[in-house]
Chain A
Amino acid sequence: MTEAGLTMLNRTADSVARATPEPLARKVRGISDKGLAWLFISPTILLLLAVNIFPLFWAIYLSFTNYRANRPNEVVRNVGLANYKRILGDQDIWIAMQTTAHFVFWTILLQTLIGFILAWLIDRKFRGHAFWTTIILVPMMLSPAVVGNFWRFLYEPQIGLFAYAISFATGIPATQIGMLSNVSLAPWSIVIVDTWMWTPYVMLICLAGLRSIPEYIYEAAEVDRASNWRQFWSITLPMALPFIMLAVLFRGIENFKMFDMVNLLTGGGPGSTTEVASITLKRQAFESWRTGYSSAFAIILFVAVFGLANIYVKALNKVKQR
């Protein structure tokens, strides 16, 4: 800033200080730097408390009650651990958890595999690689609502392009390819869409990892006459591993609570074949109105994700330290 600018700023500050009413000025003069810092961050903290922390504690409280949001006049009773016991003994909940685990496992496996291969290819910096990077990123930029709706049309056995493509490749009539209505195919239909949409995200993180590997390490390996295969296993993969693990963590947490795509594509059906935990939770909370029960389920899910993520982060730190 120029000297003239500084003088102007000082003058403005002086005039603001003079205009401040004396009682307020006396109070402000007494505030330490630390106090001032708290003053500035307090709105954010208050907001966080109001929209994150309070609801969490409120949900914990509700999980020990028989509260139902659609019965405002009913007496709320403390039921102790009854909701938790009921959930852990409920076979449907375990089936939903298995469905979730199946979905998380396959989406992460496919996204990591394809995402890493794509990142590795893009990292070759071939002609037009920037253009292809942008093209690959497009699905990730779309809204899940849009993706869910247009994939529903693509999967339509009578008019869907996907069914026609499979029919063309396999000779099976398109009308027999009910991706969303067939019990065996429906879970895969969701895995395919999620992989299509989120592989670019994994690719981006992997690409960042690959580009962070210093070139001189490869040059030293070349001098030692290490083969490409050896370079990949001894340099590329170990050095990109923390990034890959980070991508797995992000996608794992995200897919554990996946709701929108499943809701739009299958709504949990056919039957309960694709009913992941978040769909069950929504049904219990906002369709059956078992607020206390669904709060307990939400807490169990939260603890599960939080616990698993913590164990995973510790493993990630160990890998980084190697």
Chain B
Amino acid sequence: MKSTLKLTLGLTSAMFASTAVSNVAQAEDLTLCWAAWDPANALVELSKDFTKETGIGMKFEFVPWTNYADRFLNELNSKGKLCDLIIGDSQWIGGSAENGHYVKLNDFFDKEKISMDDFVPATVVGYSEWPKNSPNYWALPAMGDVVGWTYRKDWFSKPELQKEFKEKYGWDLAAPTTFDQLKQIAEFFQKREIDGKTVYGASIYTERGSEGITMGAMDGLYSFGFKYENPDKPYEMDGFVNSEKSVKGLEFYKALYDCCTPPGASNSYMGEGVDAFKSGQVAMHMNFAFTWPGLQKDENVGGDKIGYFANPKGPDGDQFAQLGGQGISVVSYSDKQEAALKYIKWFANKDVQAKWWSLGGFSCLNAVVKDPGFPASQPYAQTFLDSMAIVKDFWAEPSYAPLLQASQKRFHDYVVAGQGSAKDALDGLVKDWTEVFQDDGKM
């Protein structure tokens, strides 16, 4: 009887102890929120090292891109405690800083000797600073990203196509360096029979619902001379957003959509672009750099068949590309801020960043990207570096959402639906954006 009692007591204590231990472990677990995409899987792999080193478990909340902003902005706005760490989009930084969603990291960086000078400058401005170009940091640059292009190297190198192209356009068929060249190549491939299949010129961003067409059209607009505002007078947009050069840029993007995209590509963004390229439909493909590791590995279009180039130059030689990517922030409503800061400290480490790149993430640390071996480390590494050197970002104001919705509507109405002229669209955009800034009391 005594032994049975002892056994029962022992088992009960063991069960209680194990529950308590597991509760402690759960209490220490950190939840990291991000988009559901390839780099997120790489981060899961990478974070296993953090758990090994610190004993802090990592949980992940990944949401598909289409719901990413809705889901996490709702979470932040309702002061939810789901996320301890968040990798938020670059345009959220203004709102998240001003509304107190993110913990300001300046003191932590000073204490831990993490210097923003060690990161690619464009990523610091784009992902960490608010107000822009001021030393106020709300995130650590986590995932560098930029819009660039992939092309079918195998098609470009077909001798019969090279010959025909040279005869028609007078220059060698190769990765374009200007938008004019890009359009000529796209026209050349449009509805061409290659290996018994009809192919098309290019896949570009045309999506209406979230941010797609803005992220795409801006790539043309920037290089044609578009500016968000008067550099000497903030928020003065008339004559900059709707300048003659901007109008030409938007007209070019529409011409590219009309002449050279696959049928039905009226609502195409990252996923649709990857599908079009992977299925061998298009000769060129505009997309964020994060898609490149996956495409490089693809059996049908990857390896030697794929090439990369940075967003081309505009008519005056200007060359810019739309910034993507995100920084990692500590959520101010989290009860585990100390552990979350530990993660950021660990993530900023050079070896961790090097492993991050090797797993398919895009490091923003100078020590990684400026390493002499970096350009040769992946076939797309040099294009990534070239592209990161020419980035521009959309408004990162607290009102970025209505600003984005306005451009989505104006661009889609003109480019895809063909309503009005480019000038009408950009004049309308100035009107919409002015209204937003007036509502905010900034004008």
Contact = CB atoms under 8 A, between A and B. Distances in A.
Interface of A: 66, 69-73, 92, 155-158, 175-176, 178, 180-181, 183, 263, 266-273, 283, 286-290
Interface string B71-90: 00110010100000000000
Interface stretch (B23-31, B41-49, B366-374, B410-418): B410-418
Contacts of B12: none
B417 A286 contact: no
Nearest to B416: A270
A178 B263 contact: yes
A158 B262 contact: yes
B266 A175 contact: no
A181 B412 CA distance: 11
B28 to A, nearest CB: 29
Contact of B99 (A70, A181, A270): A70
B51 to A, nearest CB: 33
Given A269-B208, A269-B416, A283 B267 contact: no
B237 to A, nearest CB: 18
B264 A272 contact: no
Given A69-B77, A70-B99, A72-B77, A272 B409 contact: yes
A166 to B, nearest CB: 13
A287 B401 contact: yes
Given A268-B208, A287-B405, A70 B77 contact: yes
Nearest to B406: A288
Given A268-B209, A270-B417, A272-B409, 12 more contacts: A70-B95, A71-B398, A92-B409, A157-B264, A178-B264, A178-B266, A270-B266, A270-B416, A271-B418, A286-B70, A287-B404, A288-B402
A267 B401 contact: no
Given A70-B99, A72-B99, A288-B405, A176 B263 contact: yes
Contact of B263 (A158, A271, A290): A158
A39 B119 CA distance: 66
26 contacts: A70-B73, A71-B398, A72-B77, A72-B99, A157-B264, A175-B263, A178-B264, A181-B263, A183-B417, A183-B418, A269-B267, A269-B416, A270-B208, A270-B412, A270-B416, A270-B417, A271-B414, A271-B417, A272-B412, A272-B417, A287-B401, A287-B404, A287-B405, A288-B405, A289-B401, A289-B402
Contacts of B100: 73
Nearest to A175: B263
B267 A180 contact: yes
Contacts of A266: 267
B114 interface: no
Interface of B: 70, 73-74, 77, 79, 95, 98-100, 198, 208-209, 262-267, 281, 398, 401-402, 404-405, 409, 412-414, 416-419, 439
Contacts of A263: 209
B54 to A, nearest CB: 32
A272 B413 contact: yes
A175 B264 CA distance: 8
Contacts of A71: 95, 99, 398
A69 B99 CA distance: 11
Contacts of B73: 70, 289
A290 B264 contact: no
Nearest to A286: B70
A290 B74 CA distance: 14
B417 A269 contact: yes
A72 B209 CA distance: 25
A73 B401 CA distance: 17
A157 B398 contact: no
B75 to A, nearest CB: 11
A273 B99 contact: no
Given A72-B99, A157-B263, A288 B79 contact: no
A271 B416 contact: yes
Nearest to B76: A70
Contacts of B402: 288-290
A171 to B, nearest CB: 17
Contacts of A158: 262-264, 281
Nearest to B266: A181
Contacts of B414: 271
A4 B185 CA distance: 93
Contacts of A289: 73, 401-402
